Amino acid sequence: MVGRISFDGAKLLGNGQFSNIYSGMLDGVKQVAVKQVLLEDVQQNVIYHCIDESDIYKQRNQREENALMKILDHRNVIKLFLVEEDAPFKNFALELCVCSLDQYCKGQFNCPMPSDATVLLHIAEGLLYVHSKGLAHRNIDPENILISSTPVTVMLADFGLSKPVRIGTNSFSVSRDRQNAQGNNLCWMAPELLDDPDDEAISEKRGSVASDIFSTGCVFFFYLKPGYHPFENSQILTASNIIEGIPVHFLEFFPEEQSRFQAMVGSMIASKPEDRIQLKEVVNQLREMVEVYPTSPEVNEMNDQFNEQLDWLN
């Protein structure tokens, strides 16, 4: 036990290159997921443009901590309750979820879910809130969208790559370290972010909140047609098709009962950022599709607060 956060090392929920996630407790009474991150330098021989891989991961954890502890507070964004250091580790007490959207869509977990429109609305409202706070998520994929129970809530997670956007342009700089740190997630990135690694002008390129919208559109498709990506499943082919603007499996995979989502998703994954639908319009369309979408007075008040901040996004 370390301070207010405790966990059993035998109850491993998942792991990464420099972290493990355990089932644990906060103050001995609240169930949480405990992300344990190694603080000390990890001996790595792999150098990415003079930045040690462990240093990149530390930067990601600091970004996530800053975003979740200081900026974000919304029911569709995972909650970070507390951070404690216990050298050589740092422990993050996070909201406990039952599975990721990726695990659910691949049939690894079977939990009751609300309507398709409600699930997509949860994702879109969470991202709209993030954008309203002046941040781009930059890492939207099914593994970084989590599902909690009682009640079922879908929420965004992993803010290690989030960046402030420039007010007026809603854009952020594109850097090589982001590409290197995210090589396994290329198939969820917008075409404007899939730069040629030999392109020396990359430092001048900029992504935007529209890049998040593209990724979210791909995730919507992945959920509606579980396990399928609109631009193919092979990672290499997917990235190539995204760059070329070829949605291989798009039209054929929308049966009549899901046709109401087709135009919306198609607009989200348009090749050019300026051609993509605004996220606020996505939320409005999904709200119209949801016949009953229960919200508490607290959530309604929160929505009113951040909706007032959205004009600069349009």
* pLDDT, tens digit, 9 for 90 and up, residues 112-148: 899 999 999 999 999 999 999 999 999 999 999 999 9
Give, for 19, the enclosing helix (H) or strand (E): strand 19-26
What span, in angstroms and rounded, lies between the C-alpha atoms of 309 and 297?
19
Residues 138-188: tens digit of each pLDDT? 999 999 999 998 889 999 998 888 888 865 545 555 555 445 445 557 899
More confident residue, 23 or 258: 23
Please check if 35 is assigned to a binding site. Answer: yes
Q: What burial class does residue 44 get, using C-beta atoms within 10 Å of its C-beta: 0-12 exposed, 13-18 middle, 19+ buried? A: middle
State residue 3's pLDDT score: 86
More confident residue, 209 or 55: 209
How is residue 126 written in tokens? 């969470």
CATH placement of domain 1-96: 3.30.200.20
Counting every residue, how long is the chain? Answer: 314
What span, in angstroms and rounded, lies between the C-alpha atoms of 75 and 165?
22
Percent of the chain with pLDDT over 90: 48
Domain boundaries, the chain: 1-96, 98-313
Give start and end residues of each alpha helix (H) in the chain: 53-66, 101-105, 116-132, 176-181, 209-224, 235-244, 262-268, 279-289, 297-307
Please state, rounded to an integer, the average pLDDT across all residues of the chain.
79
Q: Tell me: domain 98-313, CATH 2.30.40.10, correct? A: no
